[in-house]
């Protein structure tokens, strides 16, 4: 597994609401005065603790654990079996017939990708001609299927867009020009779309607000994955996944954040060491603020944290009753209960070994969206 597992990153927020210089007057939680910033870009893990939302850092869940283990969506048993069979069929076929464009991509981090290599994903390195089969997936086994053909075309189109974005980003880096956070956002947006997860990206995303006690909290995510079939004028948008993007890579020279006693967290050594308290709070605040708009097919709300080219899968597990207590500003949950946020380790989508761990769960999320 990649050496990224043991790294830590100091995060900074890119949201437009970072400009807020001071928190608004706080709301009362648990009969004591607590200040909750009005923008989630100013949150940290302490604010989640004050709301009795527990970030589980002593156990790292696999990406598929995040999706499977907590009865996240309302699916019949037969339908779950059908989805799992589709995921296995497509992922096995993809890994055995990996298109050359993705097969050639195997790097520890973005900084080690040469611009010439990024260009060769789509263009011949000798004569510069376009290779139309770089992201062409051979037909899946079995009788022709319209959904299979649709996915193959989706993979090809977004794979080419992903490569073009990577070409430009590596060229900027080699010219000693800044590579913006928005470019990393677009890079992951195209990568996830290869597996059926289409997103709306900032600055086009809608800013969400949530009143917690006397404080109106706002949040603007980097990427929002909508459950489009469930959207309507009457019910509003239905959010499937909330994604936070940070352009900074995981660092070698940082020490893990000190462990803190958490009300819900399993006893054990801290395993989630690549996320700062600030990033945990920011993403947790984003998940909480977007919770009222979540899709009806899931119990909690999925999340992604993208750090440069590394993705962490997350999930906010929260009941409607617990959410209403938080909204009122007076959460009081017995020990071992209450909202929980779980995390995976980071997986680098530029590294072949790591992609084996993230492609099946991304496919599963994409298939759930497309079949609902």
The per-residue pLDDT for 330 is 83
Least confident of 56-60, 214-218, 334-338: 334-338
The per-residue pLDDT for 17 is 43
User: Tens of pLDDT along 130-169?
Assistant: 888 999 999 999 888 888 899 999 999 999 999 999 999 9
The per-residue pLDDT for 63 is 95
Is pLDDT of 266 > 60? no
The per-residue pLDDT for 88 is 95
Burial 255-282 (b: 16+ CB within 10 A, else e): ebbeeeebebbeeeeebbbbbbbbbbbb
Is pLDDT of 368 > 50? yes
Give the whole-angstrom CA distance, residue 341 versus residue 353: 26
The per-residue pLDDT for 262 is 41
Q: How confident is the model at residue 18 (pLDDT cuts 50, 70, 90)?
A: very low
The per-residue pLDDT for 105 is 94
Q: What is the pTM of this model?
A: 0.85
User: Tens of pLDDT along 84-109?
Assistant: 999 999 999 999 999 999 999 999 99
First-to-last C-alpha distance (Å) of the chain: 34
Average pLDDT over residues 271-296: 93
> What are the sequence ranges of the domains in the chain?
3-128+158-371
Give the whole-angstrom CA distance, residue 123 versus residue 316: 42
The per-residue pLDDT for 77 is 74
Give the whole-angstrom CA distance, residue 56 versus residue 51: 15
The per-residue pLDDT for 251 is 62
Average pLDDT over residues 2-13: 40
Strand, helix or coil for residue 303: strand
DSSP state at residue 259: P
Is pLDDT of 50 > 50? yes
Give the whole-angstrom CA distance, residue 44 versus residue 27: 16
Give the whole-angstrom CA distance, residue 249 versus residue 346: 11
Higher pLDDT among residues 129 and 233, named by residue: 129
Take residue 113 and report the two structure tokens written for it. 């990708």
Q: 71: alpha, beta or left, given left = phi > 0 and alpha = psi -120 to 50?
A: left
Please state, as a whole number, how many other Cβ atoms lie within 10 Å of the Cβ of residue 322: 18
Average pLDDT over residues 339-357: 96
Higher pLDDT among residues 21 and 213, named by residue: 213
């Amino acid at each position: 597994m990649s050496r990224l597992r043991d790294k830590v990153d100091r995060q900074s927020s890119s949201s437009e609401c970072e400009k807020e210089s001071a928190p608004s007057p706080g709301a009362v939680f648990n009969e004591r005065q607590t200040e909750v910033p009005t923008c989630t870009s100013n949150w940290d893990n302490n604010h989640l603790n004050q709301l009795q939302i527990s970030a589980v850092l002593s156990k790292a869940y696999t990406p598929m654990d995040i999706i499977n283990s907590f009865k996240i969506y309302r699916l019949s048993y037969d339908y779950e079996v059908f989805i799992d069979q589709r995921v296995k069929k497509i992922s096995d076929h993809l890994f055995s017939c990996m298109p050359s464009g993705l097969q050639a991509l195997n790097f520890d981090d973005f900084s080690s990708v040469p611009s010439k290599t990024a260009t060769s994903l789509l263009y011949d390195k000798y004569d510069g001609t376009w290779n139309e089969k770089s992201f062409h997936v051979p037909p899946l086994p079995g009788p022709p299927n319209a959904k299979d053909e649709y996915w193959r075309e989706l993979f090809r189109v977004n794979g080419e867009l992903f490569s073009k974005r990577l070409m430009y980003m590596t060229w900027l880096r080699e010219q000693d020009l800044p590579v913006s956070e928005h470019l990393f956002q677009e890079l992951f947006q195209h990568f996830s779309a290869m597996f059926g997860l289409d997103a709306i990206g900032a600055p086009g995303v809608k800013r969400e607000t949530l009143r917690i006690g006397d404080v109106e909290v706002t949040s603007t995510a980097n990427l929002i994955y909508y459950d489009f079939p469930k959207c309507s004028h009457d019910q509003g948008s239905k959010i499937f996944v909330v994604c936070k993007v940070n352009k900074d890579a995981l660092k070698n020279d940082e020490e893990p954040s000190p462990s803190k006693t958490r009300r819900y967290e399993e006893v054990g050594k801290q395993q989630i060491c690549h996320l700062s308290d600030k990033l945990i709070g920011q993403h947790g605040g984003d998940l909480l603020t977007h919770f009222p708009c979540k899709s009806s097919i899931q119990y909690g709300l999925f999340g992604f944290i993208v750090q440069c080219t590394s993705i962490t899968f997350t999930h906010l597990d929260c009941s409607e009753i617990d959410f209403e207590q938080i909204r009122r500003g007076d959460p009081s949950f017995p020990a071992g209960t209450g909202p929980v946020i779980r995390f995976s380790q980071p997986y680098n989508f530029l590294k072949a070994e790591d992609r084996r761990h993230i492609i099946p769960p991304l496919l599963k999320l994409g298939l759930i969206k497309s079949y609902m």
